[in-house]
Chains A and B, each alone.
Chain A
Amino acid sequence: MVRVISRRLIQLVVTLIALMTLVFFWLRSLPGGPVDALLGERATPQTRELLTRALGYDQPIWVQYGRFLKNVVTGNFGNSIRTGEPVTDVISRAFPATVELALGAIIIAIGLGIPLGYLAARHRGRLLDNATIIVTLIGISIPIFFLGYLLKDWLTQGVHYFPPSGRISTGLGNTDVTGFFVLDGLLTREFDASADALWHLVLPAFTLATIPLAIIIRITRASVLDVLDEDYIRTADAKGLRSPTIRKRHVLRNALLPVVTTIGLQTGALLAGAVLTEKVYNWGGLGTLITDSISGGRDYPVLQALILLAAVVFIVVNLLVDLSYAVIDPRVRVQ
């Protein structure tokens, strides 16, 4: 187990170095750049040159690259071109918001997806199953931003079931401990703030959850049906075990294997969905930061750091998936 993890960590480092290199050169090969973006078209050549030199972009590109690598290794991602703040500050402010949103979405997707998929499989071919198939098809097909605006329109306008945007109501000043508003409220015993943050979280998390939810339902359903056809389920029946025992002990665990893989892949994909969801609900997280950093000033340092962060999250999630595989399936443990 330790060997597997250490091997994966080495892979992580190699992947990150390769990715950093690609990102560095890709960003700089794009037409335009931070200087153009910051100064606009009518800037004089003198100002342009001044800024270019100030930002260090007059150096040969491999010098820039070397400096970039050195900084990354020492944990220094530079300052944001747009705001001048250290990149780490900018990101650590936005990171908890997105994690809170993504966690909410994943909890919804797993918490609803596995039971619903399981129920659909048990009612195979009957009304519930058919309804599930149709609803999940819609869930997979509907664009996030469209669903987001739709839910916002139905549930926050006129009838105020949910707040339309933001992470917490203004005036409910909660103490910042971790940056996770729901958690902070619990830690500081400001339960009203916690509840309010949770209330703000419901719609965005559900919006972000739709696609993974639909996919998890489908995979769970298919996987349960596969397992029900397995010989060992027939053996369990031949033993005379009661149906609930068979379901809990024999069906569920085997059926979860493909579902866990799917959860891992979908968690990675959440980041893409978060960009749209955050836009719709005005949720100041990484998604917002990415779009702002591209459109408003080509903020190389912030973008580089964000992409690296996304890669790390993706790789770590996949590592966790592999480890949970080993927990569920003894056949994986041996290798």
Chain B
Amino acid sequence: MPLLDVRDLSVVFDRKGTRPVKAVDGVSFTVEPGQTVGLVGESGCGKSVTSLAIMGLLPRRGNRVTGEVRFSDVDLLKLRPRELRDWRGRDIGMIFQDPLSSLNPVIPLGVQVAEVLERHQGRTRQAALREAKELLDAVGIPDPQRRLKEFPHQLSGGMRQRALIAIALACKPRLLIADEPTTALDVTIQAQILTLLKELVDNSGTALVMITHDLGVVAGLCDTVNVLYAGKVVERAYRHDLFEDPRHPYTHGLLQSVPRLDVDRGARLHQIRGSVSDNIPWSEGCAFAPRCDRVIDDCIGETVPLEPTRRAGALRCTNPVEREVAV
């Protein structure tokens, strides 16, 4: 049984006075215990909204969430908000993109770590603070005793993200969702944080859902990858398969767009033409068709289904990239 089984998850932004927008459109994927799964796509493809919907963190006003989010066979979407609070932080931890704004500026770091232990493990403040110190130590924050009393603005960006990781992993959750955890950090720190994450999930057996637009992150971390486009999964594959043999033209385009060291300096970087906003509704064909180099007549007309392919993968394309074409 998978640890997390997301079935046909859809999120519609429906605010008064505006046209409803389908941000997530029937996304399904599973996460096995201890597995690391990537959700990849460019801005606006619905990857962050998917993660927030799983956690029940989308504001209830103006959002319609449908489908199922089965976590160890409990549908989290069916839980009442109060019940869901018992799961969050205890069974599922989450870390966010911007570590500075994600920490409360007026509360000492120690309390921000300790309060999750007080909440879910019934620790007293003192015991929780002692444990918080060990947690900060475990995520590589130097001089943790002193840091307990410090405030987020006194820490560096990397340390703040480490602190958020400590908070998310404090109760040893079975699943960690990381929403672009390295985007706000500079490159050297990015690598450190990713290494730390990998170590922590490997050692603790925590499953990880990694949300990113960075294929480099995927390459270093994920077991399987879901590529999202305009709210739908367009390709799913084992990491190795995806990098060796991308089938969807979008995935292929993304991989082509990664800067490489082994090409001439003067060579132009590949880019996918157009932008995410140049799409057609999924009900009228493939949303990627207007930007696709391999578009054929069959791409327009009706919804392209997600069909199983090699080794538990899946693909949503009528004219997939052939292996020979791939570089």
Chains A and B bind each other: yes
A235 with B107: CB separation less than 8 A: no
| Listed stretches B34-42, B113-121, B225-233; interface member | B113-121
Contacts of B106 in A (CB 8 A): 253-254, 328-331
- Closest Cβ–Cβ distance, residue A288 to chain B (whole Å): 43
B window 50-89: CB within 8 A of A: 55, 57, 84-89
- Whether a CB of chain B sits under 8 angstroms from the CB of A239 is yes
Contacts of A329 in B (CB 8 A): 105-106
A245 with B57: CB separation less than 8 A: no
A254 with B116: CB separation less than 8 A: no
Contacts of B130 in A (CB 8 A): none
- Closest Cβ–Cβ distance, residue B105 to chain A (whole Å): 6
Contacts of A153 in B (CB 8 A): none
The tally of residues in B whose CB lies under 8 Å from a CB in A reads: 31
The tally of residues in A whose CB lies under 8 Å from a CB in B reads: 23
- Whether a CB of chain B sits under 8 angstroms from the CB of A249 is yes
- Closest Cβ–Cβ distance, residue A52 to chain B (whole Å): 61
Other-chain residue from B90, B105, B108 in contact with A240 (beta carbon distance below 8 A)? B90
| Listed stretches A113-121, A226-234, A295-303; interface member | A226-234
Contacts of B87 in A (CB 8 A): 240
- Whether a CB of chain B sits under 8 angstroms from the CB of A127 is no
- Whether a CB of chain B sits under 8 angstroms from the CB of A110 is no
- Closest Cβ–Cβ distance, residue B56 to chain A (whole Å): 8
- Whether a CB of chain A sits under 8 angstroms from the CB of B94 is yes
- Whether a CB of chain A sits under 8 angstroms from the CB of B93 is yes
Q: Considering the complex, give the chain A residue whose CB is closest to the CB of B87.
A: A240
Other-chain residue from A231, A243, A249, A331 in contact with B115 (beta carbon distance below 8 A)? A249
Other-chain residue from A241, A249, A250, A330 in contact with B85 (beta carbon distance below 8 A)? A241
Separation of A315 and B81 alpha carbons in the complex (Å): 48
Contacts of A253 in B (CB 8 A): 106-107
B57 with A239: CB separation less than 8 A: no
Given known contacts A250-B104, A250-B107, is B88 in contact with A239 (CB within 8 Å)? yes
Contacts of B57 in A (CB 8 A): 234, 237-238
B96 with A235: CB separation less than 8 A: yes
A239 with B167: CB separation less than 8 A: yes
Separation of A236 and B85 alpha carbons in the complex (Å): 10
- Whether a CB of chain B sits under 8 angstroms from the CB of A242 is yes
- Whether a CB of chain A sits under 8 angstroms from the CB of B98 is yes
- Closest Cβ–Cβ distance, residue B104 to chain A (whole Å): 4
Contacts of A240 in B (CB 8 A): 84-90, 116, 119-120
Other-chain residue from A239, A243, A249, A250 in contact with B89 (beta carbon distance below 8 A)? A239
Other-chain residue from B86, B89, B104, B108 in contact with A232 (beta carbon distance below 8 A)? B104
A window 103-132: CB within 8 A of B: none
Contacts of A250 in B (CB 8 A): 104, 107
- Closest Cβ–Cβ distance, residue B83 to chain A (whole Å): 10
Other-chain residue from B85, B96, B120, B154 in contact with A234 (beta carbon distance below 8 A)? B96
B window 19-49: CB within 8 A of A: none
| Secondary structure call for the B interface | mixed
- Closest Cβ–Cβ distance, residue B118 to chain A (whole Å): 9
B167 with A235: CB separation less than 8 A: yes
| Secondary structure call for the A interface | helix
Contacts of B107 in A (CB 8 A): 249-250, 253
- Closest Cβ–Cβ distance, residue B103 to chain A (whole Å): 6
Q: Considering the complex, give the chain A residue whose CB is closest to the CB of B86.
A: A240
Separation of A235 and B164 alpha carbons in the complex (Å): 9
- Closest Cβ–Cβ distance, residue B34 to chain A (whole Å): 21
Q: Considering the complex, give the chain B residue whose CB is closest to the CB of A233.
A: B104
- By CB atoms of chain A within 10 A, which of B93, B98, B105, B168 has the most? B105
Separation of A249 and B125 alpha carbons in the complex (Å): 14
Contacts of B120 in A (CB 8 A): 240
- Closest Cβ–Cβ distance, residue A113 to chain B (whole Å): 21
B101 with A231: CB separation less than 8 A: yes
Separation of A108 and B107 alpha carbons in the complex (Å): 29
A241 with B104: CB separation less than 8 A: no
Contacts of B151 in A (CB 8 A): 330-331
- By CB atoms of chain B within 10 A, which of A232, A253, A254 has the most? A232
Q: Considering the complex, give the chain B residue whose CB is closest to the CB of A333.
A: B151
Q: Considering the complex, give the chain A residue whose CB is closest to the CB of B52.
A: A234
B115 with A234: CB separation less than 8 A: no
Contacts of B86 in A (CB 8 A): 240
Q: Considering the complex, give the chain A residue whose CB is closest to the CB of B100.
A: A231
- Whether a CB of chain A sits under 8 angstroms from the CB of B257 is no
- Closest Cβ–Cβ distance, residue A241 to chain B (whole Å): 6
Other-chain residue from A235, A249, A254, A334 in contact with B102 (beta carbon distance below 8 A)? A235
Separation of A328 and B104 alpha carbons in the complex (Å): 12
Interface bits A61-99 vs B (CB < 8 Å: 1, else 0): 000000000000000000000000000000000000000
A331 with B104: CB separation less than 8 A: no
B window 110-143: CB within 8 A of A: 115-116, 119-120
Contacts of A249 in B (CB 8 A): 107, 115
Separation of A329 and B151 alpha carbons in the complex (Å): 10
- Whether a CB of chain A sits under 8 angstroms from the CB of B153 is yes
- Closest Cβ–Cβ distance, residue B200 to chain A (whole Å): 17
Interface bits A207-251 vs B (CB < 8 Å: 1, else 0): 000000000000000000000001110111111111101000110
Contacts of B93 in A (CB 8 A): 238
Contacts of A232 in B (CB 8 A): 101-105
B window 142-167: CB within 8 A of A: 151, 153-154, 164, 167
If A231-B98, A254-B104 are given as contacts, then 11 extra A-B residue pairs at C-beta distance below 8 Å, sorted by A number, are A231-B96, A232-B102, A235-B167, A238-B55, A238-B96, A240-B90, A240-B116, A240-B119, A254-B106, A330-B105, A334-B154
- Leading 9 A-B pairs by shortest Cβ distance: A240-B89, A240-B88, A239-B89, A231-B101, A232-B104, A330-B151, A238-B94, A239-B116, A231-B102
Question: Which chain A residues have a beta carbon within 8 Å of chain B's beta carbons?
Answer: 230-232, 234-243, 245, 249-250, 253-254, 328-331, 334
10 A-B residue pairings within 8 Å (CB atoms): A231-B96, A232-B101, A232-B102, A234-B102, A237-B57, A239-B115, A239-B116, A253-B107, A330-B108, A330-B151
